[in-house]
Chain A
Amino acid sequence: MLSQIVSALVVVFVAVVACSAYFYFSNKILDLALPVSDGDVRAASRNLNRRAVIRPWLFLGPALFLLFVYLVYPVVATFILSFYDRTGLQFVGIANYKWAIGDREFRQSIFNNILWLAVVPAACTFFGLVIAVMTDRIWWGNIAKSIVFMPMAISFVGASVIWKFIYEYRGGNDVQIGLLNAIVQLFGGTPEVWISVPFWNNFFLMIILIWIQTGFAMVILSAALRGIPEETIEAAVIDGANGWQIFWRIMVPQVWGTIAVVWTTITILVLKVFDIVLTMTNGQWQTMVLANLMFDWMFRGGGDSGRSAVIAIIIMLAVTPIMIWNVRRANRELKGH
């Protein structure tokens, strides 16, 4: 343990020094290679221009290189692998894609993912917005916000473990230690094994992500709400609008851009949801989602790189349009519509 900490510190130190050294010396070398002396004015101005062209690449270089190594190359490699068999050696054409379409588990995962997409971003944004509006005008609003935001600090696995205890089931006449079953029992109901109730168990897993992400939506939306000019609300009040109308007709349209950002960010997160399902059910009881299915095919019992690559590509294809739309919208906003 201690030796790990020591080596981690050493690595951090060396890396920081190496990075600074790279920028400092590459800059120095560029200046030396293309001198700007007082003698030859034409050469000096030419060198200045060249410096201006080269310098950004010099500084961007490491980032671009890393981006290529860790993003572009894996995407291309994954795409190629998706046409090969389980060992990645034998070309099989589109057989893996055909398999995916026909596979029951794959279709189940798609269905579950759509379910997640329909529920989680909407619920997080809705709860985030409602909490942001409601906590704005009460004295303990900040305390409430901190509590809502706290789950953000917990890892997905940690949160799942907490919720595992909430859904815990004890058989027979044992005392229920799971919060949900204890409540059910208190009101005279029969305890259930929540995470194994088909279809509905998906929602029990979604609640965990909603619990984690509502804080994120709330913080962003609350900042946006602060940005609404006070006059518009005052004007509405003078015109006799009630609270409901002020919320829907004045506030929501003005923070619409932020709602979209929050919504899409959580949508992308949901497409990649993995840890919660792995920790809670590992895809059993029909809760499989794409990311878990991919992991399963890649690593269980020796693995099948072809099929897992297909699933990875499909997840990427699903995320891409949302990303593009998000980036475009952000660009438009930067340019002032």
Chain B
Amino acid sequence: MKKSFLMGVAVAALFAGAASAADLKFAPGQDSKFNWKSYDEFKAAHADLKGQPLTIFGPWRGEDEAFFMSVLAYFTEATGVDAKYSSSENYEQQIVIDTQAGSPPNIAILPQPGLLADLASKGFLTPLGDDNSKWIKDNYGAGDSWVGYGTYKGKDGKEAFYSFPYKADVKSLVWYVPENFEEAGYKIPTTMEELHALTDQIVKDGGVPWCIGLGSGGATGWPATDWVEDIMLRMQPPEAYDKWTTNELKFTDPAVVAAIDEFGKFAKNEKYVDGGVAAVASTDFRDSPKGLFAVPPKCYMHHQASFIPSFFPEGTKLGQDADFFYMPTYASKPELGKPVLGAGTLVSIAKDSKAARAFIDFLKTPIAHEVWMAQSSFLTPYKSVSTEAYANPQMKKEGEILTSATTFRFDGSDLMPGKIGAGAFWTGMVDFVGGKSAEEAAGEIQSAWDGIK
């Protein structure tokens, strides 16, 4: 009796795993805004992988995990590969544990080129080959930058292309509620000077201009690094930005200190931020944008990347209930053009197999991008995808920013060594908002950077 019960349980558990892979979100061949041809071709080319195991480790959890699973379903349907996805809130730690313990996943998906470069230098990643890097160069907007962000030195000291960019975020965005702006008679600022003026105007009218939240559990502080990087790109040429991420330009350099101070002008003014300065570091970044939607509004603007609508109140219609504008540039610095700060996740092979290679090939099909685009929070620099697939006009607008970008710069803190970009920089920003001066905070980050050499 007991034995048969256990057997039944085991069988049920087996089938529970298999059942979820079978349903596809959009039936292949039906909707013409998808490139179904690419899917059919991929399916035909990789029919020989039935039953092969593939483990995927990634940063996506919650809603994003569900979206990724819906994409993965097409891969498993086409190839018959037995793919398993897992993730961790502390993915930076988990991937180090997994690789060093000798049990890496086949595919590691991480949003930090700095961490990936580190893994590559220890010999934990498999090069993807020149065809792939050439493919990125030809097919992605600002392809050269993307290839650069996936190219690292291996254990042998030779540079190779290790990480395939898939899913991007645009960070230079300021979110607002159009209705609130209309009611108060505010105009979208087109220059940084206007943004400062608008901020002052809102305070004068008795409102609070900004919602800023730096809280993110163990990663508390990162939203502030986005602010500083965005400002950095608007005050300094991109070359200076590149030097900053490699510490050729020191954190204590007046250029960097000025950028931090510029962020402080927004975040360290009691009247400028919802809840006052004390709330900035302790408010969770996921809760922070909710102030936009309060009645009356707790704040009018929120600087955050393109992923943030995932955390807007349920039923929020983008373009109607919430919209964004491009974080403006200084009218006094026209020579810097319109830089775009962004980020993205990069897909690497940590344990080589035929199925893992097939997965990389799958990411080259437009369908792997379009399925997620059509749902939410997914942008791609891939030029051949059908932009009609984007779920709403706002995402399409963001996607076009990416595909047409000339100056595109990756999130600087993700390029810096982990101990800085995912540590000292965060802590420094928390300390800065907590009362330290920009010089002090920058000095501490710099001394941490000196310490890892």
Q: Is A172 within 8 A of B298, CB to CB? A: yes
B83 to chain A, nearest CB (A): 17
Band of interface residues on B: 35 or more
Could you tell me if B451 and A99 are in contact, using CB atoms closer than 8 angstroms?
Answer: yes
Which chain B residue shows the least CB distance to A302? B118
Which residues B264-319 have CB closer than 8 A to chain A? 274-276, 278-279, 281-283, 298
Indicate if the CB atoms of B13 and A299 lie closer than 8 Å.
Answer: no
Mask of B389-430 contacts with A, CB within 8 angstroms, 1/0: 000000000000000000000000000011111110011001
**Whole-angstrom CA separation of A304 from B220 in the bound complex:** 21
| B282 contacts A196, C-beta separation under 8 Å | yes
Q: Mark A296-322, 1 if CB is under 8 A from B, else 0.
A: 111111111000000000000000000
Interface string of B421-453 (1 = CB under 8 A from A): 111001100110010000000001001100110
CB neighbors of A among B98-146 (8 A): 100, 112, 114-115, 118-119, 121-122
B45 at interface, CB cutoff 8 A: no
Q: Which residues does chain B contribute within 8 Å of A40, judged by CB atoms?
A: none
Q: How far is the CA of A99 from the CA of B451 in the complex (A)?
A: 8
- Closest Cβ of chain B to A197, distance in Å, is 9
CB–CB B434/A172 < 8 A: no
Interfacial chain A residues near B423, Cβ < 8 Å: 296, 300-301
Q: Whole-angstrom distance between the alpha carbons of A195 and B93 in the complex?
A: 24
A174 to B294, CA, bound (A): 12
- Which residues of chain A (172-200) have a CB below 8 Å from chain B? 172, 174, 192-193, 195-196, 198
**Do the beta carbons of A172 and B13 come within 8 Å of each other?**
no
Bound CA–CA A195/B215 (angstroms): 12
Q: Do A103 and B9 have beta carbons less than 8 Å apart? A: no
- Interface presence of A171 (CB below 8 A): yes
Give the residues in chain A near B100, CB-CB below 8 Å. Answer: 303
Q: Once the chains bind, are A285 and B434 in contact (CB under 8 Å)?
A: yes
* Distance in angstroms between the alpha carbons of A172 and B208 in the assembled complex: 10
Instruction: Report Cα–Cα, A87/B434, bound state, in Å.
Output: 35
Q: Is B92 an interface residue (CB 8 A)?
A: yes
**Chain B: CB-nearest residue to A194:** B282
Contact with A along B203-235 (1 / 0, CB 8 A): 000001000000001111100000000000000
B451 touches A171 (CB 8 A): no
Given the known interface contacts A2-B9, A284-B430, the answer about A170 and B220 at a Cβ–Cβ threshold of 8 Å is no
- In angstroms, how far is the closest chain A Cβ from the Cβ of B221? 7
A295 nearest CB neighbor, chain B only = B93
Within 8 Å of chain A (Cβ to Cβ): is B44? no
A9 partner residues in chain B, CB cutoff 8 A: 6
| Given A282-B217, A302-B115, A304-B452: A195 and B282 interface contact (C-beta under 8 Å) | yes
| A contacts with B, residue count (CB < 8 A) | 37
User: Could you say which residues of chain A place their CB within 8 Å of the CB of B197?
Assistant: none
A169 touches B279 (CB 8 A): yes
A13 to B333, CA, bound (A): 72
A297, chain B: closest CB distance, angstroms = 8
User: Is B66's beta carbon under 8 Å from chain A?
Assistant: no
- Tell me if B96 counts as interface (CB < 8 A to partner A): yes
Q: Is B92's CB under 8 angstroms from A300's CB? A: yes
Among A5, A278, A299, the most chain B Cβ lie within 10 Å of the Cβ of A299
Instruction: A284 to B222: give the CA distance in the assembly, Å.
Output: 12
Q: Is A37 an interface residue (CB 8 A)?
A: no
| Contacting pair A282 B220 (CB below 8 A) | yes
Interface centre among A170, A195, A281, A300 (most CB of B within 10 A): A300
**A171 CA / B12 CA spacing, docked (Å):** 49
What is the distance, in angstroms, from A80's C-beta to the closest C-beta of chain B?
16
Closest to A10 in B: B6
A337: interface (CB < 8 Å): no
Q: Is the CB of A196 within 8 A of B281?
A: yes
A103 to B282, CA, bound (A): 27
A172 and chain B: residue at smallest CB distance: B275
Is there an interface contact between B422 and A192, defined as CB atoms closer than 8 Å? Answer: no
Looking across the interface, which residue of chain B has its beta carbon closest to that of A105? B448
- Whether the Cβ atoms of B417 and A284 lie closer than 8 Å is no
Contact across chains for B279 and A103 when beta carbons are under 8 A apart:
no
A3 within 8 A of B: yes
List the A residue with the shortest CB-CB distance to B299: A172
Which of the residues A3, A298, A302, A304 comes within 8 Å of B119, measured between beta carbons? Answer: A302
- Docked Cα-Cα span, A299 to B118, in Å, equals 12
Nearest opposing residue in chain B for A2, CB measure: B13
Q: Are A171 and B9 closer than 8 Å at their CB atoms?
A: no
Given contacts A3-B13, A198-B434, 15 further A-B contacts (CB under 8 A): A1-B13, A2-B10, A6-B10, A171-B275, A172-B274, A196-B282, A282-B218, A284-B427, A284-B430, A299-B97, A301-B92, A301-B112, A302-B118, A302-B122, A303-B96
Interface pairs A-B: 5 shortest CB-CB: A301-B418, A171-B275, A171-B279, A302-B118, A3-B13
Contacts A/B (CB < 8 Å), 22 sampled: A1-B13, A3-B14, A3-B17, A5-B9, A87-B122, A105-B448, A169-B279, A170-B279, A171-B276, A196-B278, A196-B434, A278-B218, A282-B219, A298-B96, A299-B93, A300-B92, A300-B422, A301-B114, A301-B420, A302-B115, A303-B118, A304-B419
Interface residues of A (CB under 8 A from B): 1-3, 5-6, 9, 87, 99, 103-105, 169-172, 174, 192-193, 195-196, 198, 278, 281-285, 295-304
